[in-house]
Amino acid sequence: MTATDCQFAIRGGGHTPWKGSANINSGVTVDLSSMKSVNVNRSNTTVSVGPGARWSDVYEKLDAIGLGVGGGRISDVGVAGLITGGGLSHFAARDGFVCDQVLNFEVALASGRIVNANATSNPDLWFALKGGSSNFGIVTRFDLKAFPQGKAFGGIIVNPINTLPEQIQAFAEFNNATNYDTNAAYWNSYAYNNRDGWFISNTLFYSKPEVHPAVLRPLLDIKPQVYNTMRLSNLSDITKELALVLTIANTTLQSFAHTPNLTYAVTYQPLPPAITSRSANSGGNPLGLDPASGPQVLVLQSIEWSNAADDNLINTAARELWQQADELALKMGLKRDWIYLNYAAEDQDPIGSYGEENVRRLREASRKFDPTGLFQTSVPGGFKLWEKRGVKTA
């Protein structure tokens, strides 16, 4: 491909949803989906995972031997895309982003060389891959930190929309806790369908086998409850449930705003200093989140629809929501310019939001490990270091 200047795409386990992000017309797709091995070292401290694996492959292997790893919260998410975009896990408050759990990347460079990137060998590439996406090479193996993990407490609770005041209060207390319980994780979703109207869904997790832990009690106690699956179980079971719920949502949340087969949700996720402060202990990452900024909130707008004729209508409405939200946050003095790459729309610039110094380091790594710019010019999918969806930057 380098000799013929062939355009190509890179597909791992399947993560980024927008068209052209991991496939290509009139080019070659490097499909890594068969490379999904999961191997544990003899001391049970490291898990080596292929780039085509999904997190279900990892958890099923580790559950059987009492181990865990910081990984995707939904079982069918691809390993490679989640990690190279940063990645949030149920263990983020204790261990940081998923990318911070990578001890070593094995990478195929544009030159054809295969190198390792870790704390002592190619540390600049190790840093860059922890959020820099597919800009430096093709990762052929991820070596992740493993830890003992038995059963955890987790599940989903759905409440009617009239519980909104209690939900907001509980979210604020969770995210602003002085003594943050790092075993806990949670996200809060607001969804709509024409049959039921608005409703609220909370996904809760506690990494210890403790039923009704104090940190989750304010959420567990909100009544009435339409749906409750909280139980002690393993990572495979809990993350599979989330995948099933998303599948159900895709078939039941229809006809919102008179658009056929549309699903809609806005999800709020706590991003306290307990999460953003962890990367320093693992060699750092380029994401650019400063724990000194205090508790922050990560917001995801999820929309799916079936008719291409509605593309402009839906995309315009989605952008309008973000524009209004940004204006309100700016007016309130709460706006943060950071964009999470794994949630970014194709017309956004998540890497540009990492900050000037981190972007400089990423570009420096690109020049060093991909001097001809193969992954900038021949891989049109994904988010680039010098180009924002067709607009060249300095």
> Which of 50, 71, 47 lies closest to 61 in space, CA to CA?
47
pLDDT of residue 312: 86
Half-sphere exposure of 46 (CA within 13 A, CB side): 10
pLDDT of residue 197: 72
pLDDT of residue 360: 98
User: What pLDDT, in 10s, does the model give residues 100-117?
Assistant: 999 999 999 999 999 999
Q: Are 45 and 225 in contact (CB under 8 A)?
A: no
Counting residues of the chain whose pLDDT is more than 70, the rounded percentage is 90
Q: Are 286 and 354 in contact (CB under 8 A)?
A: yes
Triad 242, 247, 249: Cα angle to 5°: 95
User: Residue 72: which pLDDT band, with cuts at 50, 70 and 90?
Assistant: very high
- In this predicted model, which residue has the larger pLDDT, 95 or 4? 95
128-145 in b/e form (b: 16+ CB < 10 A) is bbbbbbbbbbbbbbbbbb
pLDDT of residue 303: 82
User: What pLDDT, in 10s, does the model give residues 39-67?
Assistant: 999 999 999 999 999 999 999 999 999 99
Ramachandran area for residue 44 (φ above 0: left; ψ -120 to 50: alpha; else beta): left
Alpha-carbon span 313 to 250, nearest angstrom: 19
Alpha-carbon span 288 to 154, nearest angstrom: 30
- When mean pLDDT is compared over 290-294, 343-347, 354-358, the highest value belongs to 354-358
What does the mean pLDDT of the chain come to? 89
- Report the range of poorest mean pLDDT among 136-145, 170-179, 188-197, 364-373: 188-197
Would you say residue 286 has pLDDT above 70?
yes
Would you say residue 275 has pLDDT above 80?
yes
Would you say residue 96 has pLDDT above 50?
yes
For residue 258, count other CB atoms closer than 10 A to its CB. 9
pLDDT of residue 388: 58
User: What pLDDT, in 10s, does the model give residues 299-345?
Assistant: 898 887 778 888 888 888 888 888 888 888 888 888 888 999 999 98
Quickly count helices (H) and strands (E) in the chain.
Answer: 11, 18
User: Residue 258: which pLDDT band, with cuts at 50, 70 and 90?
Assistant: low
Residues 197-213 have a mean pLDDT of: 93
User: What pLDDT, in 10s, does the model give residues 9-47?
Assistant: 999 987 777 778 888 988 999 999 999 999 999 999 999
pLDDT of residue 157: 97
Would you say residue 247 has pLDDT above 50?
no
Alpha-carbon span 206 to 336, nearest angstrom: 28
